[in-house]
Amino acid sequence: MTESTADRGEWTTTSTGKTATLLEINSLLPSYTKSERKVAQYVLAHTETVIYASVIDLAEKIGVGETTVLRFCRKIGFRSYQEFKLALAQELANPSQHSRDEVTKEDSLHAIAQKVAAFNVQSIHDTDALLDVEQLGRCVQLLIEARTIHFYGVGTSGVTALDAKYKCLRIGLRVDAFSDAHLQAMAASTLEPGDVAVGISVSGSTKDTIDALKLAKEAGASVICLTHYRRSPITQHADITLLTAAKQGPLEGGSLAAKIAQLHVIDVLCTAVSQKMSDKALTYKQKTAKAVLDKVYEPAQPGKGKP
């Protein structure tokens, strides 16, 4: 990531040398035109070939015009095709290839465990590569200053919303989480300026969550969304978009990698909020820990209890 400074000059990051070109292409898939999607799919499938091809060669191989290739490069943030190829070359130089070794019928239990573990760990690294520190800084400031914070999510994203509620409660934020469509809508309608609504959706197309964010926006609340796709429907209603790298197909509902990516971002946010709140957050951590102290089972001491 290049050096950037967030609002109020409080958040900075130095260059890490990371590139996320392939992740960015994946994140923007729903927003491409039909011809641009052909370019994206070819690049993802033949990355090593692309870095040696001229724009004319690439256009001919894919069956599109040169202007389509150039438009595709600009859409993912590059000024020219050469700049795009340089970024791809840097990505290939990174040992991480952002791809999953699929489990096969011949794999042993040990091999399955290793492949799944590698994929889940990679989802955190890829999400980290996509995180915009300036946007994170804005989110942290909004959460600290919010009167009320709502997290909305359904299905597996609803579980993430509950985890976010738990983490925020422990540091003293006024927060709630909703996974039922009716409760989401009713809760969102009660928000006011100064409140914050956070919508969580891997696909960015979950209707119930999007509808809740619309209501929250109309009520005057600030809106944050957490999604895999940069230009999905949910982002149209958000003031700030935070991206997660792991996606899931229609047969992969509840993908652990997708959930881990979401939880990673929530953990980063809450840790940063806690750091900024300092002593206040520590006080609330102590209070909440004490409040549930007697909820933990402890065996009877020797000589006490029933004979």
Residues 196 and 246 in one domain: yes
CATH number of the CATH domain containing 283: 3.40.50.10490
Per the structure, the complete domain to which residue 82 belongs is given by 19-93
Residue 71, in any domain of the structure = yes
CA–CA dist 30, 14 (Å, integer): 31
Looking at residue 10, its pLDDT comes to 39
Number of domains the chain contains:
2
Do 259 and 142 fall within a single domain? yes
Residue 218 lies in a domain: yes
d(CA 178, CA 200): 11
Mean pLDDT of 3-21: 40
Q: 148 and 267: one domain?
A: yes
Note whether 234 and 283 are same-domain residues. yes
Per the domain annotation, does 302 fall within a domain? Answer: no
Same domain, 154 and 240: yes
Q: Tell which of 93, 118, 145 closes a domain.
A: 93
Mean pLDDT of 187-195: 97
Domain contains 219: yes
* 165 domain-assigned: yes
**Residues 26 and 81 grouped into a single domain:** yes
- pLDDT for the residue 15: 33
Read off the CATH number of the domain in which 30 is found.
1.10.10.10
Q: Cα(170)–Cα(277) distance, rounded to whole angstroms?
A: 12
User: Are residues 71 and 157 located together in one domain of the fold?
Assistant: no
**Among the ranges given (86-95, 100-109, 132-141, 272-281), the one the predictor scored with the smallest mean pLDDT:** 86-95
The segment with the largest mean pLDDT, out of 12-21, 107-116, 157-166, 241-250, is 157-166
- Domain membership flag for residue 106: no
pLDDT greater at residue 23 or residue 244: 244
183 and 263 co-located in one domain: yes
Residue 194 φ/ψ, nearest 5 degrees: 100, -15
What's the rounded Cα separation, in Å, for the pair 14 and 242? 19
> What pLDDT does 100 receive?
55
In a domain? residue 220: yes
**At residue 305, does pLDDT exceed 60?**
no
Closest CA to 111 of 99, 123, 119: 119
Q: What is the pLDDT of residue 17?
A: 36
Residue 94: pLDDT band (50, 70, 90) is: low
Q: How confident is the model at residue 239 (pLDDT cuts 50, 70, 90)?
A: very high
User: What one-character-per-residue DSSP string does 64-125 give?
Assistant: S-HHHHHHHHHHTT-SSHHHHHHHHHHHHHSS---------TT--HHHHHHHHHHHHHHHHH
pLDDT computed for residue 48 by the predictor: 83
Long-range contacts of 172-175 (CB under 8 A, 24+ apart): 172/277, 172/280, 172/281, 172/283, 172/284, 172/287, 173/143, 173/146, 173/149, 173/273, 174/146, 174/147, 174/148, 174/149, 175/148, 175/149, 175/150, 175/151
Q: Is residue 299 part of a domain?
A: no
Q: Are residues 82 and 140 in the same domain?
A: no
Same domain, yes or no, for 167 and 242?
yes
216 in Cβ contact with 200 (< 8 Å) = no
> Using 50, 70 and 90 to split pLDDT, how confident is the model at 252?
low
- Domain co-membership, 271 together with 148: yes
The average confidence (pLDDT) of the chain is 85
For residues 148 and 274, state if they share a domain: yes
Rounded to an integer, the average pLDDT of 80-90 is 86
